[in-house]
Structure 1
């Protein structure tokens, strides 16, 4: 993974993990050990899904740039639907607290999306290719007056 991609992943994963730690601590105080476990599983699942999504989106941007916007919209919709499916699947579990699972999942997802938007706004993205000026310069055509 190139350094810029790794930097984007890091700028998104660290705030989401920090929010997850807060969610785990609050859930542990409110709902005990099962609550902390539920929030931890929800946070880990959100970070995993969003990380895979960011990786797929960056690969699409490099290989098929014309599909980038459509792929981004489809990817975020699919991620949110998959996360909703996981919340529905684990709503009656006895392994951990399902409500804190959902809270951890939602908190980590929202923080990830906000951090991703911030990282994109702060990124220095070239609008032109600086190496293209060094290559062949087009000949002037038409009148010069």
Structure 2
């Protein structure tokens, strides 16, 4: 993973993990142990889904840049659909508190998207590749007339 991608991932994952920890603490205080477990599961699933999506999007940008925008839109729709499916599947579970799970999932996802937008806006992305100018200059060979 290039350093720029790793830096972006760090700028995105750290606030999301912090939001997950806060959600676990709040859920533990409000709903007890099952609330903390539900919030932890929700935060982990959100970070995992969004991290996999970021990886797929970066690979698409490098290999098929013409599909980047369409892939991004499709990927976010698929992620949100899968997250809604997870909330629906675990709606009536007794393993953990489903409300804490859903709230943590939504909060962590929103924080991930906001941090991703911020990291992208702060990134210094070249519009022109500065190395291409050097490689395209040809030395003159032969007499100049």
| TM-score, length of structure 1 as denominator length | 0.93
Query: Aligned residue for 1:92?
Result: 92
Structure 2 CA distance, aligned partners of 1:135 and 1:95?
Answer: 61
Aligned counterparts of 1:94 and 1:85: Cα–Cα separation in 2:
17
Deviation at 1:7, TM superposition (A): 1.1
Mapped pair 1:13 → 2:49: no
1:136 CA drift (Å): 2.4
Q: Quote the residue 2:125 is aligned against.
A: 125
How far the C-alpha of 1:106 sits from its partner, in A, is 0.3
In 2, distance between residues paired with 1:42 and 1:88? 13
Equivalent residue, structure 1, for 2:141: none
| Alignment length (residue pairs) | 138
- Would you identify which runs of 4 or more consecutive aligned residues in structure 1 move more than 4 Å? none
Measure how far apart 1:56 and its partner are. 0.3
CA RMSD in angstroms, aligned pairs only: 0.9
For 2:19 and 2:43, the matched residues in 1 are separated by: 8
Q: Which runs of 5+ in 1 are unaligned?
A: 139-145
SS of equivalent to 2:135: coil
